[in-house]
A = this chain, B = another copy of it.
Amino acid sequence: MQKMSTIEYQPIGIIHTPFKLSEDAPAQGCFAQESRGEVELFPEYAEGLKDITGFSHLILIYHFHKAKGYELITKPLLDKDKRGVFATRYFKRPNSIGFSIVKLYNVRDNSLEVGWVDMLDGTPLLDIKPYVSLFDIREDVVDGWFSTASEIDKHLSK
């Protein structure tokens, strides 16, 4: 098998949130619907925000910059049992790529005011994509172990 080459990305901005430590951050944005943050896009990319104000939700792709190492079988935040890492959203994974759907409240120049944030303050931003119903809302979804996750109620009531 051909060895595939390393892929390099440059951060396009920084995500500012109230969460300085991983123990302060919610497991997912849905558990912190009141949380607000700012996506600061580096000014050289600001032009790419044209038309973004029409969307209610955005997908943010970012780097888990504080994650160190990973295990293929790991204990997720929402369950007591260990799970395969690709069946979890845990931040310690082979490539430290984070994915969150945030609510878009306001856009000013190169700065986006967003809600439902769950990432650490200072997170390097890699991409912004619009969340689109037709593409991103799926029907007949079966949620695997999350449907009976033992710790999920605790997070919902936070």
Given contacts A73-B50, A84-B47, A136-B101, contact A55 B131 (CB under 8 A): no
Within A98-140, the residues touching B (CB, 8 Å) are: 99, 101, 124, 126-138, 140
Residues on B with C-beta less than 8 A from A144 are 51-55, 130
Contact B51 A145 (CB under 8 A): yes
Residues on B with C-beta less than 8 A from A87 are 48-52, 54-55, 130
Within A59-96, the residues touching B (CB, 8 Å) are: 59, 61, 63, 72-73, 83-89, 93-95
Given contacts A45-B72, A84-B51, A141-B137, contact A4 B14 (CB under 8 A): yes
Count of interface residues, chain A, beta-carbon cutoff 8 Å? 67
Residues on B with C-beta less than 8 A from A48 are 72-73, 84-87, 94
Pick from A1, A7, A59 the residue with the most CB of B within 10 Å.
A7
Contact B89 A138 (CB under 8 A): no
Contact A7 B138 (CB under 8 A): no
Residues on B with C-beta less than 8 A from A133 are 141, 143
A: residues with CB less than 8 A from B are 1, 4, 6-12, 14, 28-30, 41-42, 45, 47-57, 59, 61, 63, 72-73, 83-89, 93-95, 97, 99, 101, 124, 126-138, 140-146, 152
Interface contacts beyond A7-B124, A47-B72, A89-B132: sample of 10 additional A-B pairs, CB < 8 Å, sorted by A: A4-B10, A7-B63, A7-B126, A52-B84, A56-B138, A56-B140, A86-B130, A88-B129, A99-B129, A130-B146
